[in-house]
Amino acid sequence: MTTINQNSIFYHIYPLGACAAPHHNDLQSEPQPRLRQILGWLDHIQSLGANALYLGPVFESGSHGYDTADYFHVDHRLGTRADLAVLSSTLHARGMHLVLDGVFNHVGRNFWAFRDLQPNGQNSTYKNWFADLRFDQRSPFGDPFIYAAWNGHFDLVKLNLAEPAARQHLFDAIRMWKEEFQIDGIRLDAADALSFTFLRDLRSFTNQLAPNLWLMGEVIHGDYRQWANPEMLHATTNYELYKSLYSSFNDSNFFELAYSLNREFGTPGIYRDISTLYNFADNHDVSRIASQLQDKQKLHLLYFLLFTVPGIPSVYYGSEFGFEGVKQSNDWNLRPAFDLPQLQSQAHPHDLRGWIGHLAGLRHSQPALRVGNYEEVLVASSQFAFSCESGNDMILVIVNSAYESTELNLPIRGKSGWRFVDLLNPEDKFTGDPSGNLQINMRPNQVRLLRNG
């Protein structure tokens, strides 16, 4: 079993942005130990209940980190391998896990093997490392050859992962990351663009290297089981849940969220065996949830659901302070500097720190929230309830996103006479009637977390 599991709660940092690194790397300046700033953030991160840190790109690159220049060296703008090792050892001493970005689908034009290809052309030792390389036309950058680019971006050169030497180079890098930084997992960038053959080879390699190393892939569309299965990855990003979360609030349509959760985790749910799907409200590639949500007063409701649905919740740095940002062609506005002392000295109109920390504490203390079977209990346009049941423990998750109070009649079949207490308001107690229904009063924009007993 991997060290990342249903007990995990992630905090996600994009280091180049959060640590205020220059947007471009000259690849020759003295390393600047910006990564060490994160050491001063760990108390804050743990106060949110996080016990796992996902760091975006940290290895040498020319710009945004996803244009790798060297898989074996930490980006000069962030520091050195020694700086990353100190961060890793500090995390592990605190009982936290570390997951790094693995950008294996493509590299940047500064990648050392590509730099060899440019002057040497067909005589380069590394010509087979790049996908669809041809010498009968020029690239948009004027190279005397053309190559496959990721998503049409010719500054991102697609690797030929069928080439044994290229594949071995990546595996050697992973070995170094594990041995030197004791990483607990890898988030695979653009996993939906990687071949299944490569993913199987990767899993086979990591099974031998470190059987508990968690592999999670960035997948946006499709059936996540194609990537997350015993032969390939342990999990994927849950973009289906991400979309249904915010749009259910914006459209006053919890039927969308209920449909997604039933499809994913209900009794016939297709992902019931993928226990560590990575759930998020926002990340470095999408608009901040405080900008995505039309009514920011509902942020606390959305995070309540994020921390109670099946899977692993993740908080993107700054969103606990209500950071805003709308996705543009340049994503740096989604990846701003993180000046924690200044942020902690200011008031924030949509401050979620205490709420997220409280939700994380409840998740840690209630096994049924982490491993219980999901079952829909009630769905309406502005009301939603589901149960998580494990053994004799039952949790009822209830949301009223309407602007008026409502009385809900929740069917809890086979539980007539059961007593429940609201873990958010322990003075509120409820008892199921003889017919197996639970009458619950809900104030406007209220959530309840009921536990039997």
Query: Looking at the domain that runs over 10-105+161-365, which CATH code has it been given?
Result: 3.20.20.80
Name the pairing type of β-strands 97-102 and 52-55.
parallel
Instruction: Report the half-sphere exposure of 58 (CA within 13 A, side-chain side).
Output: 35
Q: Rounded to 10 degrees, what is the CA torsion of 321, 398, 259, 221?
A: 20
Q: In this structure, what are the phi and psi dihedrals at residue 351, rounded to the nearest 5 degrees?
A: -80, 120
Q: What residues are paired with 114 via a beta bridge? A: none
Q: In the chain, how long is the greatest CA-to-CA distance? A: 82
Q: Which residue is listed with tokens 């039952």?
A: 394
pLDDT at 1: 66
Separation CA 447–CA 304 (nearest Å): 8
Q: What pLDDT, in 10s, does the model give residues 339-395?
A: 999 999 999 999 999 999 999 999 999 999 999 999 999 999 999 999 999 999 999
Q: Which of 404, 300, 406, 402 is nearest to 357 (CA)?
A: 300
pLDDT of residue 330: 87
Q: At what angle do helices 299-306 and 353-365 cross, to 10 degrees?
A: 20
Instruction: Give the pair of three-digit tokens for residue 377.
Output: 């209990």
CA torsion, ordered 208, 211, 213, 216, to nearest 10 deg = 90
Q: Which residues contact 185 (CB under 8 A, 6 or more apart)?
A: 2, 3, 4, 52, 97, 98, 99, 100, 213, 214, 215, 216
Q: How far apart are CA 151 and CA 133, in angstroms?
A: 16
Q: Which distant-in-sequence residues (6+ apart) come within 8 Å of 234 by Cβ?
A: 2, 4, 214, 215, 216, 228, 274, 276
Other beta carbons within 10 angstroms of residue 269's beta carbon come to 16
Angle at 381 between CA 397 and CA 219, to 5 degrees: 70
The domain defined by 372-452 folds into: Immunoglobulin-like (2.60.40)
Q: Secondary structure of 325-369 in the HEC alphabet?
A: CCCCCCHHHHCCCCCHHHHHCCCCCCCCHHHHHHHHHHHHHCHHH
Left, alpha or beta for 130 (phi > 0: left; psi -120 to 50: alpha)? beta
Q: What is the pLDDT of residue 414?
A: 73
Q: What one-letter code names the amino acid at 165?
A: A
Residues paired with residue 10 on neighbouring β-strands, in sequence order: 52, 314
Task: Name residue 53's beta-bridge partners.
Answer: 11, 98
**Residues of the chain whose pLDDT is less than 70?**
1
Q: Do the domains at 10-105+161-365 and 372-452 have one common CATH topology?
A: no
* First-last CA distance in the chain: 32
Please answer whether residues 191 and 8 qualify as being in contact, where contact means their C-beta atoms are separated by less than 8 angstroms. no
Q: Where are the domains of the chain?
A: 10-105+161-365, 372-452
